[in-house]
Structure 1
Amino acid sequence: MTQPIEVIGGIDTHTDVHQAAVIDTIGRHLATEAFPTTPEGYRRPLAWLRSYGQVLMVGMEGTGSYGAELARYLRANEITLVEVDRPDRRARRAAGKSDPVDAYAAATAVLSGRANGTPKDRDGTVEAIRTLRVVRASAIKARTHTINQLKSLIITAPAATREALRSLTTTELIHRLVASRPGSNLTTPAAAVKLALKRLAKRYQHLRSRTRTPSCAP
């Protein structure tokens, strides 16, 4: 019985479509194919690669970004993954920029040993913490922007409002503004700025509560 040949895959990842290529162990280009970034599209590349032979390993760009879900699927099916930093620039110059060329370059980079990076792990506790930290970092950035807006409004506020607030610490300022009663008459700059300051203070208070601890609570 004839033994199946051994093959190496290369995948160029993108937002909507992943381009795959397959070569044999002496570098011959066997085929290229595009697959959508959908649940079915993540399963099909492995079956496609195996249709050409025994898959030794797969070189992939973006295992921690565009290719994260496909990387999870391939690892779950015991496929050895290699992170490819960038396509072979000589192949780009020779054939021009194209996704099939980049996928083929990823496979040949693995075969030649030029690519030997460890794929980024997007599973387990570390990934869960990283995801939560993204949310917290966003809230911290928004909180900083909010307090800067608030203090900028105080600088340009009418004198009476400015003098009443300018010497307060941030904590005192937020408490004072959240408890304030600016009224509903917004026909004057003084009344409008008091309402704006209260709303910004409440926003800051909310964002601060979201950045105190990396809580999973909604």
Structure 2
Amino acid sequence: MLAWMRSFGQLRCIGVEATGTYGAGLLRSMQNAGVEVLEVTTPEKQDRRKRGKNDDLDAQNAAHAAFAGKRTVTPKTRDGMIESLRVLKACRKTALAARRVALQMIHNTIICAPDDLRDTLRKMTRMQLVRTLAAWRPDLTDYRDVISAHRISLKSLGRRYLELHDEIADLDAMIGAIVDELAPNLVARNSIDHAGAAQLLLTGRRQSETLTL
């Protein structure tokens, strides 16, 4: 591709859409080749409606935008520990959402459960409830029975919650280690935890591997 582009003359820069997702591989390849890359933002909806959705037109629009310096920004770097921090944070976010859904499902299933089963689960803290459910040993062959089906489902949800809980703890440890290495002075301040420091690093200094405060 690079040879093909240079066959038309001197290559000043290229415009790439979605450098953080689908265009990430192309971004790395061009940057490694020493080519200036500009991220081209999404065109206005009105212009898109006029032209329609077409990959060829999108490529031409990206080239024109890069040449004119319109709708362009400097793409974020996708290497180093800042990128590692971003990936781990994104994974943690989805794990938190999945754990929240699992807990909601536990509560909803208990609410709909038969009285005899529901009464045994009253007055428990969250983790007591989850660990109790995960430790159950329901008869998996008796899934046609309503109470057994509830017990099987609750055990599955309890185990799912605990697995996600452990996964989040592991991710927190990795994120904390990166933050401690990149910005030890930041986390040493009062009222700034590792989660807040990680977000500050991602938001304020994506182009840098260190933050000096």
Query: What TM-score, normalized to structure 1?
Result: 0.68
* CA–CA separation in structure 1 for the residues paired with 2:84 and 2:163: 23
Q: Runs of 5+ in structure 1 lacking a partner? A: 1-44
1:165, CA displacement in angstroms? 0.7
The total of aligned residue pairs comes to 172
Match of 2:168 among 195, 201, 211: 211
> CA–CA distance in 2 between the matches of 1:63 and 1:105?
16
Partner of 1:175: 131
C-alpha contact 1:139 1:211 (8 A) present in aligned 2: yes
Aligned match of 2:114: 158
- 8 Å CA contact retained: 2:41, 2:72: no
Would you say the 8 A contact 1:88–1:106 is kept in 2?
no
**For 2:154 and 2:50, how far apart are their aligned partners in 1?**
61
Partners in 1 of 2:45 and 2:110 — Cα distance? 55
Q: Which residue of 2 aligns with 1:16?
A: none
CA-CA distance at 1:152 after TM superposition: 1.2
CA RMSD of aligned residues (A): 2.6
Q: Secondary structure at the match of 1:212?
A: helix
CA-CA distance at 1:208 after TM superposition: 0.8
Q: 2:149 aligns with which of 164, 180, 192?
A: 192
Structure label with greater radius of gyration? 1
Cα separation, 1, equivalents of 2:148 and 2:46: 66
Choose which of 138, 148, 159 in structure 1 pairs with 2:104: 148
Query: Percent identity of the aligned residues?
Result: 37
Structure 2 stretches lacking a partner, 5+ long = 175-213
- In 1, distance between residues paired with 2:5 and 2:46? 25
**Aligned CA distance change for structure 1 residues 180 and 94 (closer, same or farther; 3 Å):** closer
1:28-177 to 2 correspondences below 5 Å: 45-87=1-43, 97-177=53-133
Q: Give the Å deviation of 1:166.
A: 2.5
- Of Structure 1 and Structure 2, which has the larger fraction of its residues in strand? 1
- In 2, Cα distance between the equivalents of 1:177 and 1:97? 50
TM-fit CA distance, 1:88: 7.8
Name the aligned partner's letter for residue 209 of structure 1.
D
Alpha carbons 1:84, 1:116 under 8 Å: kept: yes
